[in-house]
Amino acid sequence: YCSAPAKVNKDNEGFQESNKMHSINGYVYGNLPDLSMCMGNKIHWHLFGMGNEVDLHSAFFHGQILTDKRHHTDTVSLFPATFVNVEMVADNPGEWLLSCQVNDHLEAGMQAIFEIKKCFPNVHKPRPFGETRQYFIAAEEVIWDYGPTGINQYSGKKLADDSVSDTFFDSRNDHIGGKYKKVQYVEYTDDTFSKRKEKTPEE
């Protein structure tokens, strides 16, 4: 929100930063849904960095041990336009925080919560190798709600009232709240891109 749009210097670094949403899969402050797994399962995390040269991230998996290029770690460095595959054995049951440890990204809500459940019996089965998959993906503009619950799941406060997050979620005094225009990747059934693929409840 700005009171005099014509006077805004769009090249100002502070203005550019104020218009960015540091999110994980389009969600902030622990609102990313359905990150759950069974204790003992081997999990593959596929991490992709977006943005430009200032978008450097340190993905920190609290309470876990990851294997990245045969090295054991709990933090993965992620640069723009890079793709990282890491493995994790879900050893510690409970709710855990996945966050970017860059200070202003962390304060801006770049956090997700994942849960490791005690599942009996362990239903994990190894996947076969050599399978070819074909997808039809389009990029489409949508009005996206970055915090649909209205709650900072890390602090328990309302997003619009929290001093850290109200910059993005305050809808009073002509502010626009937590809904912003963004690009969403949408899957279609074939290369005509005429019919969207139906999502399962898990998706």
Domain boundary among 64, 88, 117: 117
For the segment 182-203, the average pLDDT, to the nearest whole number, is 90
**Integer Cα distance of 118 and 110 in angstroms:** 27
pLDDT (0 to 100) of residue 126: 56
Confidence of residue 45 (pLDDT cuts 50, 70, 90): very high
3-state helix/strand/coil string of 126-180: CCCCCCCCCCEEEEEEEEEECCCCCECCCCCCECCCCCCCHHHHCCCCCCCCCEE
Buried b or exposed e, range 95-124, using 16+ CB within 10 angstroms = ebebbbebeebbebbbbbbbebeebeeeee
Residue 75 lies in a domain: yes
Confidence of residue 38 (pLDDT cuts 50, 70, 90): very high
pLDDT for residue 141 is more than 60: yes
Q: Provide the domain count of the chain.
A: 2
CATH number at residue 63: 2.60.40.420
Do 97 and 58 fall within a single domain?
A: yes
Do 86 and 174 fall within a single domain?
A: no
pLDDT (0 to 100) of residue 186: 92
pTM, to two decimals: 0.61
For the segment 4-12, the average pLDDT, to the nearest whole number, is 84
Dihedral sign (CA 183, 152, 58, 22): positive
Do 91 and 168 fall within a single domain?
A: no
Q: Is 122 helix (H, G, I), strand (E, B) or coil?
A: coil
Domain around 82: 21-117
pLDDT for residue 202 is more than 80: no
pLDDT for residue 146 is more than 60: yes
Residue 5 lies in a domain: no
Cis amide bond preceding 80, omega within 30: no
Query: CB neighbours (10 Å) of residue 125?
Result: 7
Strands (E), the chain: 36-38, 42-48, 57-61, 66-68, 71-73, 75-78, 83-89, 94-100, 111-117, 136-145, 179-188
Return the minimum-mean-pLDDT range out of 123-132, 147-156, 162-171, 177-186. 123-132
For the segment 185-189, the average pLDDT, to the nearest whole number, is 93
pLDDT (0 to 100) of residue 86: 95
Note whether 189 and 196 are within 8 A (CB).
Answer: yes
pLDDT tens column, 49-67:
988 877 899 999 999 999 9
Do 103 and 179 fall within a single domain?
A: no
pLDDT (0 to 100) of residue 121: 65
pLDDT (0 to 100) of residue 138: 95
Task: Please calculate the CA angle 142-144-148 and round it to the nearest 5 degrees.
Answer: 150
**Integer Cα distance of 139 and 199 in angstroms:** 17
For the segment 67-91, the average pLDDT, to the nearest whole number, is 93
